[in-house]
């Protein structure tokens, strides 16, 4: 198998690349290395001593998905069976301050990936990393607050794919544009595509920052002794999906591509892997740190959902997939990875 990963030096991308290298597949990474510390992930991949063919199994192109000519050259040389499109502008706040750049990366960049893929002599399948942010703030969904978290009043199993789209924020608009283009290229052009509306992904090699990767950001700040803020009251709930479980969903879709082409799946930790971002997460991190963690609070940010829990029933039915990594186990694993790699966060 030949896999082409845009954003392949990022958190999800490098874990996906390593997974396929271990399977003996040929991996091509396409990344502009714009995000801080992605070079660390690329260096880690290049040092993997998996077998004596790893040098021939990993190809890297430094390029930008906004530049169709760069993308076409790399993908033509790679001749992939599967393109996993992960490259993106990932922060709502950045999209508000620079909506044009957000659009060019997320909307135009995704369009470029689709156009290059469909015009190859042998068009590959295309997987797209979308987001639950395409559902917007979901203000019409009733939410109940208790001592440590918010709950959906009427959706005990979470939100499924029938939830109306509401592209709140430039980020939501640009990712939602890609989301719908990827789906429609399966219908109109017959390109084999799958869209994954992903919830909070976490795990090793995540260099979380304030705007993205909040759990990793909190852990990194705690381990390194840096201050950080909680936006809102800290009761906001997220369902956490470990990166290995996300990769398992990609694998399941690839093995069933003829049956699931054109489908959209919500993929998240689900109701069994939920946590409020500080009222519940804070005590867990304090247990790991062995001390109290001081935090500052600030106003809720625009478009920040008080709760999102993914209903994974469709993915479970069509892909025979469900999360396997328990949240506390995953949090401990991420904590230990950050602690053991403190030098990467200097």
Could you give the CA distance from residue 202 to residue 146 in angstroms, rounded to a whole number? Answer: 26
pLDDT at 153: 96
Lookup result for tokens 């990594």: 325
From the list 61, 150, 171, 181, the catalytic residue is 171
pLDDT reading at 169 higher than 80: yes
pLDDT at 54: 54
**CA dist list (Å): 104 to 91, 101, 119, 196:** 14, 5, 21, 21
Q: Exposure string (b/e) for 59-82, b if CB count within 10 Å is 16 or more?
A: bbbebbbeebebbbebbeebebbb
DSSP string, 217-281: HHHHHHHHT---EEESSS--EEEEEEHHHHHHHHHHHHHTHHHHTTEEEEES--GGGEEETTTTH
Mean pLDDT of 234-251: 98
User: Considering the chain, what is the average pLDDT of its residues?
Assistant: 94
pLDDT in tens, 62-85: 999 999 999 999 999 999 999 999
Q: Exposure string (b/e) for 275-293, b if CB count within 10 Å is 16 or more?
A: bbbbbbbbebbeebeeeeb
pLDDT at 166: 93
pLDDT at 53: 53
DSSP string, 296-336: EEEPPPTT--SEE-B--HHHHHHH-----S-HHHHHHHHHH
Worst-scoring range by mean pLDDT, 22-26, 118-122, 288-292, 326-330? 22-26
Worst-scoring range by mean pLDDT, 52-66, 80-94, 227-241? 52-66
Pick the CATH number of 88-345 from 3.30.930.10, 3.40.640.10, 3.40.50.2300, 3.40.50.720: 3.40.50.720
Could you give the CA distance from residue 191 to residue 27 in angstroms, rounded to a whole number? Answer: 21
Beta strand extents in 72-211 (DSSP E only): 82-85, 125-131, 143-145, 150-152, 193-198, 200-202
Domain assignments of the chain as residue spans, ordered by start: 88-345
Mean pLDDT of 127-132: 97
pLDDT reading at 51 higher than 80: no
pTM: 0.95
Q: Known catalytic residue: 250?
A: no
Q: In the structure, what pLDDT confidence band is assigned to residue 291 with cuts at 50, 70 and 90?
A: very high
Q: In the structure, what pLDDT confidence band is assigned to residue 210 with cuts at 50, 70 and 90?
A: confident
pLDDT at 106: 98
Q: Kindly report the number of other CB atoms within 10 A of residue 52's CB atom.
A: 7
Q: What percent of the chain has pLDDT over 70?
A: 97
pLDDT at 298: 93
């Amino acid at each position: 198998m030949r896999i082409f990963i845009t954003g392949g030096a990022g958190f999800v991308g490098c874990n996906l690349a390593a997974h396929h290298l271990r399977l003996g597949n040929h991996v091509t990474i396409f990344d502009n290395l714009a995000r801080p510390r992605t070079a660390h992930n690329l260096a880690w991949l290049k040092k993997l001593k998996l077998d004596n063919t790893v040098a021939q199994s990993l190809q890297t192109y430094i390029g930008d998905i906004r530049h169709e000519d760069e993308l076409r050259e790399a993908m033509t040389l790679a001749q992939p069976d599967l393109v996993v499109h992960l490259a993106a502008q990932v922060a709502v706040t950045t999209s508000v301050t620079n909506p044009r750049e957000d659009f060019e990366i997320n909307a135009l960049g995704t369009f470029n990936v689709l156009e290059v893929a469909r015009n190859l002599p042998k068009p590959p399948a295309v997987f797209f990393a979308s987001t639950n942010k395409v559902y917007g703030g979901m203000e019409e969904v009733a939410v109940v607050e208790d001592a440590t978290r918010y709950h959906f009043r009427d959706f005990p199993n979470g939100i499924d794919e029938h939830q109306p789209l509401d592209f709140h924020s430039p980020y939501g608009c640009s990712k939602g544009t890609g989301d719908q283009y990827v789906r429609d290229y399966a219908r109109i052009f017959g390109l084999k595509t799958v869209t994954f509306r992903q919830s909070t992904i976490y795990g090793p090699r995540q260099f979380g920052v304030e705007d993205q990767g909040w759990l990793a950001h909190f852990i990194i700040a705690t381990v390194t002794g840096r201050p950080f803020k909680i936006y809102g009251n800290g009761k906001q709930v997220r369902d956490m999906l470990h990166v290995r479980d996300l990769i398992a969903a990609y694998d399941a879709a690839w093995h069933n591509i003829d049956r699931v082409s054109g489908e959209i799946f919500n993929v998240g930790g689900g109701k069994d892997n939920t946590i409020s971002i500080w009222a519940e997460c804070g005590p867990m991190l304090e247990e790991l740190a062995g001390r109290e963690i001081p935090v500052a609070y600030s106003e809720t940010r625009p478009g920040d959902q008080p709760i999102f829990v993914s209903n994974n029933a469709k993915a479970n039915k069509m892909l025979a997939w469900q999360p396997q990594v328990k949240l506390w186990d995953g949090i401990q694993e991420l904590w230990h990875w950050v602690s053991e790699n403190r030098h990467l966060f200097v």
